[in-house]
């Protein structure tokens, strides 16, 4: 199951990791519903490629054609092989990402800072019978 908190509301849904033909990548798919603070429900859907290279994960948005658009890279902490961190800039905004991988649970957080942004997006994925495939 996917649980995400954002500045505009909370998201609930399903996340799936699927193997790809490459030995060094996974397809991550998420979909569900965002309930806004105004009590509106909005459907969401997004796919990403996770490409693994030594101690780094490169995330790409999946789009209609390949190559897709690069999102960011995360490097695993040298003292904690379950945690990966990264930072990227989008326009004038900076996104500090932290991913934590544990058995049956993945957490990721984005701290977003910029001239008109200051918020955190926090996501928790928990293993369910049909909702989480590794």
Q: What is the pLDDT of residue 81?
A: 87
**pLDDT tens per residue, range 12-51:** 999 999 998 888 999 999 999 999 999 999 999 999 999 9
Report the predicted TM-score, pTM, of the whole model to 2 decimal places: 0.85
Q: What is the pLDDT of residue 64?
A: 79
Q: Domain for residue 30, yes or no?
A: yes
Q: Domain for residue 53, yes or no?
A: yes
Instruction: Provide the residue range defining the domain that includes 10.
Output: 2-126
**pLDDT tens per residue, range 78-99:** 888 899 999 999 999 999 999 9
Mean pLDDT, rounded, of the chain: 91
Q: Domain for residue 131, yes or no?
A: no
Beta carbons within 8 Å of 117's beta carbon, 6+ residues apart: 93
Cα-based angle 2, 88, 6 (whole degrees, multiple of 5): 35
Provide the domain count of the chain. Answer: 1
Q: Domain for residue 133, yes or no?
A: no
Q: What residue has token string 């790809």?
A: 20
Q: Domain for residue 103, yes or no?
A: yes
Phi, then psi, of 76 in degrees rounded to 5: -70, 140
Q: Domain for residue 31, yes or no?
A: yes
Q: Domain for residue 57, yes or no?
A: yes
Residues 60 and 68 sit within 8 Å (Cβ to Cβ): yes
């Amino acid at each position: 199951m996917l649980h995400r908190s954002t500045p505009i509301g909370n998201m609930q849904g399903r996340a799936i990791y699927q193997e790809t033909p490459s030995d060094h990548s996974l397809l991550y798919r998420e979909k569900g519903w965002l309930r806004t603070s105004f009590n509106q429900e909005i459907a969401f859907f997004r796919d990403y490629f996770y490409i693994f290279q030594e101690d780094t994960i490169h995330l790409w948005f999946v789009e209609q054609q390949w190559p897709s658009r690069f999102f960011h890279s995360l490097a695993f902490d040298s003292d904690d092989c379950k945690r990966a961190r990264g930072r990227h800039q989008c326009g004038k905004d900076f996104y500090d990402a932290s991913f934590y991988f544990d058995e049956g649970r993945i957490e990721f957080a984005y701290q977003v800072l910029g001239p008109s942004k200051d918020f955190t997006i926090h996501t928790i994925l928990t293993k369910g019978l049909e909702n989480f495939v590794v």
